[in-house]
Structure 1
Amino acid sequence: WATDDSSLERAFSSFGEILESKIINDRETGRSRGFGFVTFRDEQSMRDAIEGMNGQLLDGRNITVNEAQNRRNG
């Protein structure tokens, strides 16, 4: 998993202003867990990114892009 926070942001920056981009790493090993999050300033940018990037290649891997859902407790 070669993608880091910066390359994730670069890949999505054409869709709108990004507030945060974050690759999630394993707490123990520090290695990527294979997913991340991109937070856009507005909803339309998010929707454009989902439409434009879902199924595309990023650093040699096919990616799935969707809207993050809130975690449920319990």
Structure 2
Amino acid sequence: MANAKLYVGNLSYNSTEESLASLFSQFGEVVSARIVTDRETGRSKGFGFVEMASPEAAQQSIAQLNGQQVDGRQLTVNEARPQEPRQGGRGFGGGGRGYGGGGGGRY
């Protein structure tokens, strides 16, 4: 595992970036912890990313935390994959939905 960035899924909506960093710090130095939030509401989307200082610490975090119950939810912890470019698909999908919605209103 060359990457020390982890995906953390199924987080409690009450989780904070501080509590996430604290949880992972028992396995090594945490470089960053980020919970992804909805752009419009600011509410947690229930997942985030933690970057560990070393691949070894990241691997140990996966081994110890994946599948564990935290705040009543079973965490999913695995190596983060690079985000794939979605601009073309998103624009097309958005246009399609807008067109479909407009067409539905006419009938």
- The TM-score bracket by the shorter chain reads over 0.9
Shift of 1:29: 0.6
Cα distance per residue 1:10-29 (max 9 Å; x no partner)? 11111100000011110001
CA distance, structure 2, for counterparts of residue 30 and residue 14 of structure 1: 28
- Computing the radius of gyration from Cα coordinates, the structure with the larger value is 2
Runs of 4+ in 1 over 2 A off after TM superposition: none
Could you say what secondary structure the match of 2:33 adopts? Answer: strand
Task: Report the counterpart of residue 50 of structure 1 in structure 2.
Answer: 62
What 5-or-longer segments of structure 1 have no aligned partner? none
The RMSD of aligned alpha carbons is 0.9
Q: Relative contact order (alpha carbons < 8 A, sep ≥ 6): 1 or 2 greater?
A: 2
Matched, 1:31 2:43: yes
Shift of 1:57: 1.4
Identity %: 43
Alignment match of 2:26 (pick from 14, 17, 25): 14
State whether residues 11 and 58 of structure 1, in contact with CA within 8 Å, keep that contact through their aligned partners in structure 2.
no
